[in-house]
Each structure stands twice: as C-alpha cells, then as structure tokens.
Structure 1
C-alpha cells in the first residue's frame, strides 16, 4: 500500500476536519469583508490597557 493512501486512511477524519475549518474561515472572511453586513454589525467597545512605559518606548 502506498504511503499516501495509508496516511489518508489513518488520518482521514483529521483531514476532513481541517477542510471544514477552512470552509468556516472562508465564510467568516467573506462576511466580514462585505461592507453592507459589516455596517450592520455591532462594534464592541473594548477598553485597552495602557502599556508599560518601557514597552511604549520600545515600540
């Protein structure tokens, strides 16, 4: 049995899960890049903490 066939048979479930993840990622990117849908989405108001002075100097 060729090595690639063996890998697909043994790790087939993981391969399928990876494809679902890519599909979900593409859907999310398409939704967030659509200007109409993005304008309807609520923007979260996160409060950012100030960085340490040493970190700010480094940046």
Structure 2
C-alpha cells in the first residue's frame, strides 16, 4: 500500500449550522433573521477567535 494511503482520511462533512450569512447585513443570522450572536448556546459551543490582521495598519480595527 502506498505511504500516502496509510494516512488518507475521508473528507470531513460540512458542519450543520443554525445560521447563515446575510450579505445585506454583512453578518450571520439565525433562521428568524436575528443576528447569530444572540444565540448564546451556539457561541459557547463554537468558542471564539480573534484576529490582529490589519491592527497595525488601521486605527479602527
């Protein structure tokens, strides 16, 4: 068996989410149209991330 196939894994399925991106509002919204940030349980399960991209060049990041 080729070396690469020893470590090959099946693709990870896309996660099922309770929200969708709304390009008009430029944020994720729940099925009822409210901002996804209001779903505290989802936020706790998903955790949070931060980014410093642009912080050095934009004063308003």
For Structure 1 versus Structure 2, the TM-score category normalised by the shorter chain is under 0.3
Q: Which of these two proteins has the greater Rg computed from alpha carbons? A: 1
Which structure has more helix as a fraction of its residues?
Answer: 1
TM-score by length of 1: 0.28
Which structure has more strand as a fraction of its residues?
Answer: 2
TM-score by length of 2: 0.28
